[in-house]
Structure 1
Amino acid sequence: MKFLGIDFGWMSGASGLCCLKWQDGALQLLDLTRYSTIEDILAWVDVWAPAPAPAMIAVDAPTLIPNATGMRLPDKLTHKYFGRYHAGCYPANLGSRFAQRTTELGLSLEARGFIHAPIIENQRSERYQIEVFPHPAIVNLFNLERILKYKKGRLSERRLELAKLQQYILNGLPALEPKLDKLSLQNIKNHQDSDIFCDLNTLAGSHLKAVEDRLDALICAYVGAHWWYWGLERNLVLGDHATGYIVIPLRSDNYL
């Protein structure tokens, strides 16, 4: 079973992409990259999850938007449950500038057999897609008191927060269940084109954003694996297929 994470560029620009594989009782990191167009993203999906192979695709973007105006139910619920962590999500409706692009991605994945999975049978291997949101996922996976603020702010502060995420991924995900194989992380670390553990103090602008996109994509892929592995036992689903939905790992002090 493979788990593909897509940190989607809602408006334009590059999207971070990650592929994990469940093998020998652990998740192996197979690929980290970035592409800009939906066509290139789908071509990447076809390489790593060709039909009819089972796979879970976890997308950080509103791929289901039923409401013409206002906020979707899952958007409202992120503010209700995660607002205190500063993890409420951006509202989506059909009038949003990004709506056509994000829903097009979801429909293109459906055409490839990836059905929406706000309900799932644990560890059943099919072709699924879900919507995820890295900020509350990171808060819950690593038992944080607030989000890591690497998206906005002064460059020095963004670097510091992104460096924290590097360490949580490198040291935290291998300690969770399902665990991410640390050796596969080290292999990626030594691969220059996909080095998400590089020294951030030398990076700015698009170079820092490239690392951020890949880290977010890895979190997306891991959340997809966590949903497949545990289902509702250790995950929260905000919304449903009719309203749009977001899958978020539950918080547990037993994880780390």
Structure 2
Amino acid sequence: MKFLGVDLGWQSQPSGLCCLIWQQGKLQLLHLTRLATIPDVLAYIDAWVSPEDPAMVAVDAPTLIANLTGMRLADRLAHRYFGRYHAGCYPANLGRPFAQRTIEFGLSLAARGFVHAPAITPQQLGRYQIEVFPHPAIVHLFGLSQILKYKKGRVVERRAELTRYRDYILTVLPQLEPPLLLTDAASNSLLPQVPERGPALKALEDQLDSLICAYVAAHWWYWGSERNWVLGAETPEACCVEGYIVVPVGVKPN
């Protein structure tokens, strides 16, 4: 089973991409990159997952939007539960400039056989897609009192927060269930080093976010509702129309 994380560029930005594989009772990082266009992203998915392969694609973007204005229920719930950690999400509605792009991306995944999975039988092979959001995920997975603020601020501040982010990934995710292996046979880290300059920091940010997306997909597949929340409507059928966000429970926040 493979797990692909897509930190989707909502408008015209590049997207971070990650591929993990579950084998011999552990997750292994296969690939981490950043690509410029939606066709590039879809080609990446096609290259790593053949039409017959079981896989889950976790997307950091609202691929299901039914409301003309305002906020989806999933977005309101993200604010309710994670606002105090500074992890509320952007409101999504059909009037936003990104809506067509993100919805069409979800439809492109559906055309490849990836069905929405707001409910799942744990560890059942299949082809699924889900919406995820890295900020609440890392709050829970790493037991944080607030988000890591690597997206805004001076370069030195962003670099420090990205260094913390990378360190948490390397030290915490291998200890969770399912464990994620992030070193090679010589115990060298498989993650890129934190760069010095601003544009390169953004590229690493997108890649690390995509890794978290992929890990949340694996966590959802492995545990289902036992150790994950689904923010959205009460029924899977309604979630598949109105949208939903999967959040791992992980470690309780401080």
In structure 2, what residue type is equivalent to 1:13? Q
Residues 141-160 of structure 1: matches in 2 within 5 Å? 141-160=141-160
Question: 1:118–1:241: 8 Å Cα contact kept in structure 2?
Answer: yes
Task: Structure 1: give runs of 5+ residues left out of the alignment.
Answer: none
1:232 aligns with 2:231: no
Q: 5 Å matches for 1:1-256?
A: 1-184=1-184, 189=189, 195-196=191-192, 198-200=193-195, 202-204=196-198, 206-239=199-232, 240-253=239-252
- Residue deviations 1:40-85 (CA, integer Å, cap 9, x gap): 1111100111112100000000000011111011000000000000
**Structure 1 residue 252 displacement after superposition:** 3.0
TM-score, structure 2 normalization: 0.93
Aligned residues of 2:7 and 2:210 also touching (Cα < 8 A): yes
TM-score normalized by the length of structure 1 = 0.93
1:115 partner amino acid: V
Question: 2: distance between equivalents of 1:81 and 1:42?
Answer: 32
Identity %: 63
- Distance verdict in 2 for CA 1:187–1:209, change over 3 Å: farther
Say how many residue pairs are matched: 247
Q: 1:23 to 1:212 in 2, by over 3 A?
A: same
SS at match of 1:67: coil
Q: How far did residue 185 of structure 1 move?
A: 9.8
Cα 1:148–1:51, aligned 2, differ >3 Å: closer, same or farther?
same
Question: In structure 2, do the counterparts of structure 1 residues 7 and 69 end up closer, same or farther at CA, with 3 Å as the change threshold?
Answer: same
Q: Secondary structure of the equivalent of 2:241? A: coil
CA distance in 2, matches of 1:161, 1:134: 15
- Structure 1 residue 95: Cα displacement: 0.6
CA contact (8 A) 1:117 1:128 kept: yes
Evaluate the alpha carbon distance shift between residue 243 and residue 175 of structure 1 in structure 2; reply closer, same or farther with a 3 A threshold. Answer: same
In structure 1, what is the Cα distance between the partners aligned to 2:20 and 2:188? 12
Question: How far is the alpha carbon of 1:182 from its aligned partner?
Answer: 3.2
CA distance in 2 between partners of 1:60 and 1:185 (Å): 31
| Structure 1 residue 184: Cα displacement | 4.3
2:194 and 2:201 in contact (8 A); partners too: no
Over aligned residue pairs, what C-alpha RMSD do you find? 1.7
Structure 2 unaligned residues grouped into runs of 5+: 233-238
* Contact 2:3 2:19 (8 Å CA) reproduced: yes
State the one-letter code of the partner of 1:232: S
1:179-214 alpha-carbon deviations (Å, 9 max, x no partner): 001324988846xxxx52x143x222x211111111
Q: Whole-Å Cα distance in 1 between the matches of residues 53 and 177 of structure 2?
A: 24
* C-alpha spacing 1:16/1:118, structure 2 compared with 1 (3 Å): same
The amino acid of 2:204's aligned partner reads V
Structure 1 residue 241 displacement after superposition: 1.7
Q: Is the contact between residue 170 and residue 185 of structure 1 (CA under 8 Å) also seen in structure 2?
A: no
Deviation readout 1:147-171 (Å, 9 max, x if unpaired): 0011111221111111110001111
Structure 1 SS opposite 2:124: coil
